[in-house]
Amino acid sequence: MFEEAAKNVAKVRENLQTAQSRQKSYADKRRRELTFEAREFVYLKVSPLRGTKRFHMRGKLAPRYVGPYRIKKKIGELAYELELPEYLSDVHPVFHVSQLRKCLRLPDTQISPEAVDLQDNLEYLEYPVQILD
């Protein structure tokens, strides 16, 4: 009886090791090393729960990433300090690498979140920028 129980425990451990190695290989395929340099631009991830309080974004139409912001310096292995604008002065400027996404191309024109006058019912007024014809 004890030998049979020991065989079953050994088989369970072997199956667990097989499953763990399979899951590790799946995870390693998607995993990538993220590193940024100082003076690069990155987007900052807005969490849905904290986005309303910290970044004044709310609702399901709120962007997942805000920015782009310039990196001031690297702090440690996985943390970066960002140059945040004045309206985000109450947000701590150091973020983990998982909260950042590389900015591949800087947009020509950037619209600040304060520039869009968004009402409570998610409507806004459109104003013409330039008359072309």
Q: What is the mean pLDDT of the chain?
A: 81
Checking if the pLDDT of 43 tops 70, the result is yes
Taking CA 34 as the corner, what is the angle to CA 81 and CA 110, rounded to the nearest 5 degrees?
55
Whether 58 shows a pLDDT value over 70: the answer reads no
- Say yes or no to pLDDT of 44 above 90: no
Write out the chain in H/E/C secondary structure. Answer: CHHHHHHHHHHHHHHHHHHHHHHHHHHHHHCCCCCCCCCCEEEEECCHHHHHHHCCCCCCCCCCEEEEEEEEEEECCCEEEEECCHHHCCCCCEEEHHHEEECCCCCCCCCCCCCCCCCCCCCCCCCCCCCCC
Of residues 26 and 91, which shows the higher confidence score? 26
The pLDDT assigned to 113 comes to 58
Burial class (CB in 10 A: 0-12, 13-18, 19+), 95: buried
Residue 116 binned pLDDT confidence (cut-offs 50, 70, 90): low
64 or 113, greater pLDDT: 64
Q: Looking at residue 61, what is its pLDDT?
A: 66
15-19, 55-59, 60-64, 121-125: range with lowest mean pLDDT: 55-59
